Amino acid sequence: MIYENTPIKSSNKTLKRGKTKEKIISKILMVLASISILTTIGIIVILSKETFLFFQEISIKDFLTGTEWTALFANPKFGVLPLVLGTLMIAIYGSIVAIPVGLGSAIYLSEYASDKTRKIVKPLLEILAGIPSIVYGYFALTFITPILKKFFPDINVFNALSASIAVGIMIIPMISSLSEDAMKAVPDEIRQGAYALGATKFEVSTKVVIPAALSSIISSFVLAISRAIGETMIVTLAAGSTPRLTLNPLESVQTMTSFIVQVASGDVTHGGLIYKTIFAVGMLLFLITLLMNIIARMIIKKYREEY
C-alpha cells in the first residue's frame, strides 16, 4: 500500500508547486502591468497640478484663443494657437509625405514582393525607424533645406517644410511595417476568391485587402501622426523657434515640443510662471494626442473585420 500511494502523493505535490508558481508569476505580471498604469497616472497628476497653478495666473480663454505667444519676452503673452498651428502643420505635411509612401510600400511588400525581396527590403526600410531624430534634424537642415532653396529661393533657413519632410521620412517605417503586417494577416482565401472572379492584383490589393485590413491600417496612421505631433529634435533643429500664426510652410515656426525644449534648456526659475508654461503646453499636447486616439478607436471599431 505504501508503494501504491507514493506516486499519487508525488503528483499532488508537483501540482501544488505548479499552482504556487503560477500564482507567483501572475502576481509579477500584474505588478509589471501596473507600472505602466501608475506611470501614466503619475504623469497626469503632475501635469494637472502644475497646469492648475498656471491657470490661476493666466486665463484659460486667453491661453486657448490668443494668437500671440511671447512667453519669454519682457511683456509675455500666452496665446498658444501659434504653437498648436505649428505642431499641426508639421504633423499634416509630414503625413502627406509618409502616408502615401508608407502605404505604397506596405502594398508592395504584402502583395507584390517575393519572399526573398521582402526579407531584404523590409529590414532596410525599418532601419529608418532606428535613426536618432537629432540626425534627421541635421539632415533636414543641411540637406533638405538647400534642395528646397533651389525651388523656393525665399524659403527661410529654418522652415516648417523641411522639418515636415524629415518627420515624414522618419514615420514611414511605422506606417509601412504595421500596415504590411495587417495586410499579411488577411486570409489568403479572400484573395483567391477575388482572383477567381477575375480581379487583377492591383484590384485585389486596393479593393479587397486594404478594406479588410482597414482598421489596423488606420491604427498605423494615427500612431504615426501622434509620433509626428510629439516629435522634438527634428522640429527644434529644422523648423526654428518662431511662434508664428501662419500656414506658410516656407516660414519658421515653433511647435509645442520645441517650446518645451527651449524653456527646459534655458535658465528658468523653478516654480515661476514661465516654468509652469511647460506643463500647460504639455497638458494640451497630451489632450490632443488623447483625443486623436479616442477618434481612432471609434473609427477602428466601426471598420474592424474579424476572420
Q: What is the CATH number of the domain that holds 121?
A: 1.10.3720.10
Q: Which three cell numbers stand for residue 251?
A: 516660414
Question: Are 113 and 218 in the same domain?
Answer: yes
**∠ CA 57-72-262 to the nearest 5 degrees?**
110
Question: Are 104 and 27 in the same domain?
Answer: no
Phi-psi region of 152 (alpha: psi -120 to 50; beta: other; left: phi over 0): beta
Residue 66 lies in a domain: no
Measured CA distances, 111 to 103, 182, 185, 202 (Å): 12, 12, 12, 9
In this predicted structure, what is the pLDDT of residue 198? 85
Distance, in Å, from the CA atom of 146 to the CA atom of 19, rounded to the nearest integer, reads 65
Distance, in Å, from the CA atom of 104 to the CA atom of 133, rounded to the nearest integer, reads 23
Which residues constitute the domain of residue 30? Answer: 2-56
Question: Are 194 and 299 in the same domain?
Answer: yes
- Residue 69: strand, helix, or coil: strand
Residue 197 lies in a domain: yes
Phi-psi region of 53 (alpha: psi -120 to 50; beta: other; left: phi over 0): alpha
Residue 73 lies in a domain: no
pTM: 0.85
Question: Are 248 and 203 in the same domain?
Answer: yes
Question: Are 92 and 145 in the same domain?
Answer: yes
Low-confidence residues of the chain: pLDDT under 50: 1-3
Residue 150 lies in a domain: yes
Question: Are 39 and 100 in the same domain?
Answer: no
Residue 102 lies in a domain: yes
In this predicted structure, what is the pLDDT of residue 144? 93
In this predicted structure, what is the pLDDT of residue 33? 84
Task: Quickly tell me which residue has 505642431 as its cell.
Answer: 87
Structural domains counted in the chain: 2
* Adjacent-strand bridge partners of 78: 69
In this predicted structure, what is the pLDDT of residue 7? 58
In this predicted structure, what is the pLDDT of residue 6? 55
Q: Choose among 223, 215, 113: nearest CA to 174.
A: 223
**∠ CA 278-284-286 to the nearest 5 degrees?**
100
Question: Are 41 and 168 in the same domain?
Answer: no
With the C-alpha atoms ordered 150, 91, 279, 63, is the resulting torsion angle positive or negative? positive
> How far is C-alpha 215 from the geometric centre of its chain's CA atoms?
16
In this predicted structure, what is the pLDDT of residue 117? 86
Distance, in Å, from the CA atom of 243 to the CA atom of 79, rounded to the nearest integer, reads 10
Q: Which three cell numbers stand for residue 272?
A: 515661476
Distance, in Å, from the CA atom of 234 to the CA atom of 261, rounded to the nearest integer, reads 12
Question: Are 95 and 49 in the same domain?
Answer: no
Distance, in Å, from the CA atom of 162 to the CA atom of 158, rounded to the nearest integer, reads 8
In this predicted structure, what is the pLDDT of residue 1? 46
